[in-house]
Structure 1
Amino acid sequence: MKAFVRIFLVPMALLALFAGCSEKLEPKPVTYSQLLTGTEKKAWRMVSFQIFDNKKSDGVQNVQTIMASCEADDQYVFYANSDHKFEYTNGPSKCDTSEPDVIFDDTWTLINGNASLEFVIPLLGGKFPWTVRNLTETSLTVEYFFPDIDASYRFTFNSTTK
């Protein structure tokens, strides 16, 4: 009888004990906007751009080689809050020590249906409706198509937030 208890009942009791403690894990897929903002906020740094004219490009231009390093490390921060806060901030190096950390703030708008993202790129001096060409956890590529001519600007950003 002791052998029966040891061989069958003790393992069954242990199995029932551990089986009752497991928690069912349900995956939560990342939404499209969370790729852009993370769960709270996400910072992006411009790494390259292309100018297309009549569907032809002179090639990808590396921002690090064209802009001063104090400008090339500036960050575009998208917040996941209901206000869709957007900040353009100085990166780790400032061109002038008197510059504020946050250069300016605004809002962003993402429309999933046509993959349109509206935000400011200071280099161009205004807010434009960008077509999202690619958006992953670590990379964002947007393109602006001029309405009157066959030309566009394409910018690629890498996430600086883990």
Structure 2
Amino acid sequence: MRTLIRLFLIPTAIGWLLGGCSEKIEPKPITYSQLLTGTTQKTWRVVSFQVFDEGDGSGTLPIAQSGIDACITDDLYTFYAGSERKLEISEGASKCNPGDPDIFLTDTWALVNANASLEFPLTILGGTYPWTLKSITDRAFTIEYYFEDIDASYRFTFNSVSK
């Protein structure tokens, strides 16, 4: 009888006691905004674009081959986490004017998960647009702007330059 108690009841009682003290670990899924901003901030750069006109795409073209001045196409977009949703756009490797500050635009960004709508300024187009977030990972994201009055859109892909 003592052997039965030692082999079965004591380990069961210890397991029950120790098991009752453990905290249940629940996974926290990464959201779109966490992929965009990282834990505090994340910097991105435009790497390619496509133009769609009546369903026909131009094919993916590197932004460096767009014909737009490199001082604009190499801009860096830093998205900050937090309730203020701050965005800083800074000069990349080449400045448009040597006297320009490194950070030339501070604004905000907005993300609506329900329809994957991301709104922020894009210096290449010179304005703030409601982008459709086509895809996002921790290393790249693709946005697309659909024109309201014509069957056309612009699609841009960004790569992360920071973790």
TM-score range, shorter chain: 0.7 to 0.9
Aligned partner of residue 124 in structure 2, secondary structure: helix
Deviates more, 1:58-67 or 1:30-39: 58-67
The answer (yes or no) to whether the contact 2:44–2:76 under 8 Å persists in 1 is: yes
1:145, distance to aligned residue in structure 2 (A): 0.4
1:149, distance to aligned residue in structure 2 (A): 0.7
Letter in 1 for 2:34: Q
Matched length: 148
Identity of aligned pairs, percent?
Answer: 54
Letter in 2 for 1:102: I
Listed as ranges, the matches of 1:147-162 within 5 Å are: 147-162=148-163
What are the superposed Cα offsets for residues 33-92 of structure 1, whole Å, 9 maximum, x if unpaired?
100011111110000011100010121111123344443321111110211001111123
Q: TM-score under structure 1 normalisation?
A: 0.80
Q: TM-score under structure 2 normalisation?
A: 0.79
Listed as ranges, the matches of 1:5-154 within 5 Å are: 27-66=27-66, 67-154=68-155
1:25, distance to aligned residue in structure 2 (A): 6.1
The answer (yes or no) to whether the contact 2:48–2:158 under 8 Å persists in 1 is: yes
1:23, distance to aligned residue in structure 2 (A): 9.0
> Aligned equivalents of 1:121 and 1:102: distance in 2?
14
> Aligned equivalents of 2:161 and 2:121: distance in 1?
18
Deviates more, 1:142-151 or 1:26-35: 26-35
1:27, distance to aligned residue in structure 2 (A): 4.0
Letter in 1 for 2:111: L
Task: Could you tell me which runs of 5 or more consecutive residues in structure 1 were left unpaired when the two chains were aligned.
Answer: 1-18
> Aligned equivalents of 1:50 and 1:74: distance in 2?
18
1:142, distance to aligned residue in structure 2 (A): 0.2
1:93, distance to aligned residue in structure 2 (A): 3.4
1:28, distance to aligned residue in structure 2 (A): 3.4
Aligned partner of residue 123 in structure 1, secondary structure: coil
What is the RMSD of the two structures over their aligned residues, measured on CA atoms?
2.4
> Aligned equivalents of 1:148 and 1:71: distance in 2?
27
> Aligned equivalents of 2:103 and 2:49: distance in 1?
23
Task: Could you tell me which runs of 5 or more consecutive residues in structure 2 were left unpaired when the two chains were aligned.
Answer: 1-17
Letter in 2 for 1:107: T
> Aligned equivalents of 1:58 and 1:158: distance in 2?
20
